[in-house]
Amino acid sequence: MGVITSYSQLGFSHEIGVIAGPVAFQSDFGVRNNFETNAGNTGIGIGIIHYINFSYRADCDCYSTDTYWNDHFKLRSEISWNKTKLNHFGEWVDNPSPSYDKLRAHSGEANNWDVGMQLEYFPFSIRQFAATTQSWAPFVSLGAHFTSFNPKASTTFGDRNINNNNNIFNPWVSSPGDDPIKLEGGTTWSLVTSIGTRYKLTVLSDLMVDLRWQFFFNNEVDGLDHKLPSNKANDYLVWLNFGYIYYLD
């Protein structure tokens, strides 16, 4: 087989890749666990990924010590961006009462930059996968990302000023001082886990698909944080991404 290496002081081999795919953003927009919300509040995500491959040593052009760690784990780092248009769906916005006009008029947009790392576990041998084209390598991963968010919001109600509480859905501002629209942006940590598989396209390249769940430790990533009882969880997203990975020589 061809030798796949990259020069490194630590001797590990390296891989780089790109990912892209649809994102479903779950937030205070719409109704949780609602198909119309899940299908409607979707966007796109793209990213650049890098792997440290412990199964091969670049410094000696040879396999590393045959340990369970080296043959079943890879360390993935990533920088990515996702964007999702957000609208209200479900039983509340479907209510024809004029009192829900403000809810129907409100829309938003989530914009997030991510950087972080995940540890990927491959239950089957990485070495065996690398030696056989047209083979499959399923994996699961767990990690943490640092997220910079910059949401947007708008309304078509009244004077169209999203900062005017007279244009905001009444239950959100029922108490003095309520300020549900959060457009300042900020940063937060997030928990990332995924399940996926690789397909060995050539000796030097793989195709990849994985389904990611990312939970943010902040409830303002979508630009909305109302205080109603239905606001039970922080924002999160589900991202189905497709990737191409190249082994550096």
What are the structural domain ranges in the chain?
A: 14-247
pLDDT (0 to 100) of residue 79? 98
What are the structure tokens assigned to 196, written together? 């996926």
Q: With contact defined as beta carbons under 8 Å apart, do 213 and 236 qualify?
A: yes
pLDDT in tens, 110-123: 999 999 999 999 99
Q: What is the reported pLDDT for 9?
A: 43
pLDDT for the residue numbered 249: 65
Can you give the pTM of this predicted structure? Answer: 0.88
Structure token pair of residue 78: 């990533």
142: pLDDT confidence band, cut at 50, 70 and 90? very high
- Classify domain 14-247 by CATH architecture: Beta Barrel (2.40)
